[in-house]
């Protein structure tokens, strides 16, 4: 409470809620005696001083203090105003965001009464104390009207800080889940609903974990939970929280067997070619198949059927049924938060619920033949990217070429009636806007404050359920407007909660904290060229897998394209897929493959490529890798070969590429390794078959097929051996690796 120093002598004021404050010369001094507030469950004891500062957070099982006690100088509760609103504060402080920390806290039953003296607010926080977590929910926020000098009005609150805890840094920090952990203890602050804003800041050896809410989203009725438990119990605690708060069951999804499976995405799938796609998927060991909406529909939003699905849902159900009958789980790859430019949401009459990123005021009327639009506001922030320069003026969409950034402000080079909309006139003073076009640019984003997202969610749900899909990919999840922390999971949740059956897992292009419960398996990357794919795997997928692992999740080591050799590329080769699959296996992650029928048929090494993927999938799903092997694959760029021995058991062996393989061709790829006191070389032709002559006697080498370790006949003499190089084969030498490398350098294609 604000108290003016009207008299110079000390006065003692007894305030509500039993708090005693001593006022002297504008200075409030707290009573020297500090009472403590204890909040505990079977795993932790959380203690606060009555001024809101955290005193201690003890993990009971280990006795470890989880707080950084050197950084507990402020209350864990706070209010934020984007500028001072109360008259006295406005006259005192600068016009910028200001955080006001609580200075009185009292526990009454399972509620905390939190007082903010300077702002005249009192918060009531409901405690939900369970054996698994402690929940904090802002039940109400009350303003106390004071009267000192003038009568006061209730001022705005822009943000509320529900928890702000300085947690000791540990070996791991999962930013997505917002958890600090090591092999013994985990401390987790997480939202209990989509409206809570969760964040953390690492500062030296401290991780300041934050939970709060914003008034422009929602303040009261919003909550977060604190978990401090043994790390091996963390997911069980979160699982219980998900059930109690009716959240998507992210833990249950992560624990399913199907969570490990890789998927095959059939490009151009139709009722006529579904059997071919299934055959290739099975050869690659894929147990899931993801159908992209663009292969079925011509637009996003209303999902208009394409000509391959003449019987619409009947045809799609047949395709999905065939996939399931083959023992493969079907999934649906969607865009969901935007409409394609050819969709009825856009043309011929654009829906008013499409998002506008900038609003302008017409400074002059617009006639039907005008190519210049004059506005009151500067367009300097508007995009000049091709395909994204679209204005929505009433029911007309207008493309502009450029604009001026000095008065009079103008959009120039305007093309009227774009995307099939009708040219119209508009009066001076009309408000209109810049359409929110995605970066492809192919889609127009939805206004998440309107009902359009729910409308599309129901449409997606109808297709998903009737067709019989079992999992989903949320593509383009970044295509929402600010605030992103809220709208990214909000749009996902609108779709997810309508899906029946509940997806066994979901992937997505972008995620926010609350998405952890929805997007249970992380994003796949867009495809990389064959010459860059290994480097890109280390640069992006491995880095992402490490990040996801910190939040107890996996990600997809995809998407991986399937490209046949051509005059422009070597195509995707077995060693490339082996590299991707081995790195994925190291992090217990699946892969995703784009299945292209024409490329499968044109690639002479398709059988070898699919065999590589199938073998690594078998090893990973069966859990045949040791922790030591996983760590070796995680922490180096050494390439590894998966060898199946005569007993049918797998061996993971480091190998190196041999370069050059011949004196006169680059068409053969060869990799060398040591096994059973012999030097082995796995080699193949990238795009056909050719004879290779090696300067070594026939009797000193052995040639084997990949699938059947059996000696093969090859021609030769005392000075050389000639073999046909096509599919992957082994050459085995009783020589050191260095000598074998020299032999290949002196070999030649005949």
Contact 240, 133 (CB under 8 A): yes
Mean pLDDT of 482-489: 98
3-class DSSP state of 630? helix
pLDDT digits (tens, 9 = 90+) for 414-427: 999 999 999 999 99
CA count, 13 A, side-chain hemisphere, 491: 33
What's the farthest any 2 CA atoms get from each other in the chain? 114
Asked whether 527 and 279 are in contact (CB, 8 A), the reply is no
Mean pLDDT value across residues 637-646:
92
Mean pLDDT of the 218-244 span: 98
Tokens of 446: 């939805």
The pair of structure tokens assigned to 367 is 């006639």
Which of 90-94, 497-501, 588-592 is the least confident region?
90-94
Is the per-residue pLDDT at 20 higher than 70? no
Residue range 101-151, pLDDT digits in tens: 999 999 999 999 999 988 899 999 999 999 999 999 999 999 986 555 455
- Distance CA(58)–CA(40), nearest Å, equals 9
Q: Which structure tokens are listed for 334?
A: 């969607």
Q: Per DSSP, which regions of 366-513 are E strands?
A: 373-375, 390-393, 396-399, 402-403, 409-412, 431-435, 443-445, 471-475, 506-508
- Please state, in angstroms and rounded to a whole number, the distance separating the CA atoms of residues 205 and 67: 11
Partners of 522 in the β-ladder:
555
The answer to whether residue 243 scores a pLDDT higher than 90 is yes
Assign 428 to helix, strand or coil: coil
pLDDT higher than 90, residue 706: no
Is the pLDDT at 357 greater than 50, yes or no? Answer: yes
Residue 598 has pLDDT above 90, yes or no: yes
pLDDT at 698: 82
pLDDT 10s digits, 540-563 = 999 999 999 999 999 999 999 999
Give the Cα separation of 68 and 431 in Å (integer): 53
Query: In the prediction, which pLDDT does 646 show?
Result: 87
Q: Output 24 or 495, whichever has higher pLDDT.
A: 495
Residue 2 has pLDDT above 70, yes or no: no
The DSSP letter of residue 354 is B
Helices (H), 416-483: 452-467
For the stretch 340-352, pLDDT in tens is 999 999 999 999 9
CATH of domain 655-749: 2.60.40
Give residue 253's pLDDT. 98
Three-state SS at 473: strand
Q: What letter does residue 277 receive in the DSSP assignment? A: H
Q: What is the pLDDT of residue 19?
A: 34
Look at residue 25 in the predicted model and tell me its pLDDT: 29
Question: Under a CB-based contact definition with an 8 Å cutoff, are residues 692 and 725 in contact?
Answer: yes
| 551: Cβ contacts below 8 Å, ≥ 6 apart | 174, 175, 176, 177, 179, 516
Task: Please state the separation of Cα 170 from the chain's center in Å.
Answer: 24
Mean pLDDT of 288-312: 98
Sheet holding 263-266, edge to edge: 506-508, 471-475, 329-335, 288-292, 263-266, 592-595
Higher pLDDT, 63 or 702: 63
For 259-340+447-522, which CATH class? alpha beta
Q: pLDDT tens digits, residue range 567-583?
A: 999 999 999 999 999 99
- Dist. CA 457–CA 287, nearest whole Å: 27
For the chain, the average pLDDT equals: 93
At residue 725, does pLDDT exceed 90? yes
What percentage of the chain reaches a pLDDT higher than 70? 93
Nearest alpha-carbon partner for 492 in 466, 460, 450, 444: 460
pLDDT band at 437 (very low <50, low <70, confident <90, very high): very high
So what CATH class is 35-247?
Answer: mainly beta
Nearest residue to 332 (alpha-carbon basis) of 474, 479, 431, 189: 474
Percent of the chain with pLDDT over 90: 88
Residue 632 — pLDDT band, cuts 50, 70, 90?
very high
Which residues lie across from 359 on neighbouring strands?
433
pLDDT given for residue 707 in this prediction: 66
pLDDT at residue 589, as a whole number: 98
This prediction's pTM: 0.92
The SS3 of residue 110 is coil
């Amino acid at each position: 409470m604000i108290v003016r120093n009207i008299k110079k002598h000390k006065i003692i004021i007894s305030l509500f809620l039993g708090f005693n404050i001593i006022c002297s010369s504008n200075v409030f001094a707290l009573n020297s005696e500090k009472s403590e507030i204890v909040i505990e469950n079977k795993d932790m004891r959380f203690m606060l001083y009555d001024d809101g500062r955290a005193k201690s957070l003890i993990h009971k099982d280990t006795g470890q203090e989880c707080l950084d006690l050197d950084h507990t100088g402020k209350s864990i509760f706070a209010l934020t105003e984007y500028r001072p609103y109360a008259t006295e504060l406005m006259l005192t402080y600068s016009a910028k965001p200001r955080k006001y920390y609580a200075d009185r806290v009292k526990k009454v039953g399972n509620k905390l009464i939190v007082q903010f003296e300077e702002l005249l607010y009192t918060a009531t926080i409901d405690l939900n104390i369970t054996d698994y977590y402690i929940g904090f929910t802002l039940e109400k926020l009350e303003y106390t009207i004071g009267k000192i000098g003038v009568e006061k009005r209730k001022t705005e609150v822009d943000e509320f800080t529900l928890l702000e805890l300085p947690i000791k840094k540990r070996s791991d920090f999962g930013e997505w889940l917002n958890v600090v952990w090591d092999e013994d203890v985990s401390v987790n602050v997480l939202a209990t609903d989509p409206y809570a804003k969760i964040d953390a800041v690492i500062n030296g050896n401290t991780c300041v974990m934050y939970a709060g809410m914003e008034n422009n989203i929602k303040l009261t009725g919003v909550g977060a939970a604190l978990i401090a438990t043994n790390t091996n119990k963390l997911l069980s605690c979160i699982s219980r929280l998900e059930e109690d708060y009716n959240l998507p069951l992210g833990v249950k999804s992560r624990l399913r067997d199907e969570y490990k499976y890789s998927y095959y995405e059939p490009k151009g799938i139709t009722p006529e070619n579904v059997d071919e796609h299934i055959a290739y998927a099975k050869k690659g060991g894929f147990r899931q198949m993801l159908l992209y909406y663009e292969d079925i529909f011509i637009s996003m939003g209303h999902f208009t059927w394409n000509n391959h699905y003449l019987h619409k849902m009947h045809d799609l159900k047949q395709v999905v049924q065939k996939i399931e009958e083959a023992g493969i789980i079907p999934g649906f790859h969607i865009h969901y938060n935007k409409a394609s430019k050819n969709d009825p949401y856009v043309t011929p009459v654009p829906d008013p619920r499409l998002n506008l990123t900038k609003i302008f005021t017409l400074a002059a009327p617009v006639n039907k033949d005008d190519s210049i639009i004059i506005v009151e506001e500067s367009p300097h922030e508007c995009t000049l990217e091709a395909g994204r320069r679209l204005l929505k003026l009433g029911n007309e969409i207008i493309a502009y070429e450029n604009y001026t950034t000095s008065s009079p402000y103008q959009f120039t080079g305007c093309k009227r009636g774009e995307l099939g909309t009708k040219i119209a006139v508009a009066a001076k003073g009309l408000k209109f806007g810049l359409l929110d076009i995605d970066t492809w640019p192919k889609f127009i984003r939805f206004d998440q404050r309107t009902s359009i997202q729910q409308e599309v969610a129901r449409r997606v749900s109808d297709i998903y359920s009737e067709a019989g899909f079992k999992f989903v990919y949320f593509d383009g999840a970044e295509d929402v407007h600010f605030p992103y922390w809220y709208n990214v999971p909000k749009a996902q949740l609108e779709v997810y909660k309508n899906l029946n059956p509940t997806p066994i897992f979901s992937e997505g292009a972008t995620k926010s904290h609350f998405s952890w419960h929805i997007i249970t398996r992380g994003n796949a990357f867009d495809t990389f060229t064959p010459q860059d794919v290994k480097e890109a795997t280390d640069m992006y997928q491995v880095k992402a897998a490490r990040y996801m692992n910190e939040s107890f999740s996996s990600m997809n080591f995809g998407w991986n394209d399937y490209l046949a050799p051509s005059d422009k590329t070597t195509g995707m080769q077995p060693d490339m897929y082996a590299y991707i699959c081995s790195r994925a296996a190291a992090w217990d992650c699946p892969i995703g493959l784009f299945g292209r029928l024409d490329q499968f048929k044109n690639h002479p090494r398709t059988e070898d490529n699919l065999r590589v993927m199938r073998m690594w999938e078998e090893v990973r799903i069966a859990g045949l890798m040791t922790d030591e092997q996983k760590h070796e694959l995680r922490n180096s760029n050494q390439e590894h070969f998966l060898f199946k021995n005569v007993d049918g058991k797998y061996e993971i062996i480091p190998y190196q590429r041999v370069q050059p393989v011949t004196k006169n061709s680059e068409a053969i790829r060869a990799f060398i390794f040591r096994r059973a006191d012999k030097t082995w070389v796995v080699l193949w032709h990238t795009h056909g078959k050719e004879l290779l002559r090696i300067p070594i006697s026939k009797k000193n080498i052995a040639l084997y097929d990949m699938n059947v370790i059996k000696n093969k006949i090859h021609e030769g003499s005392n000075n050389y051996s000639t073999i046909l190089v096509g599919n992957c084969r082994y050459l085995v030498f009783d020589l050191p690796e260095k000598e074998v490398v020299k032999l290949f350098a002196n070999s030649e294609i005949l």
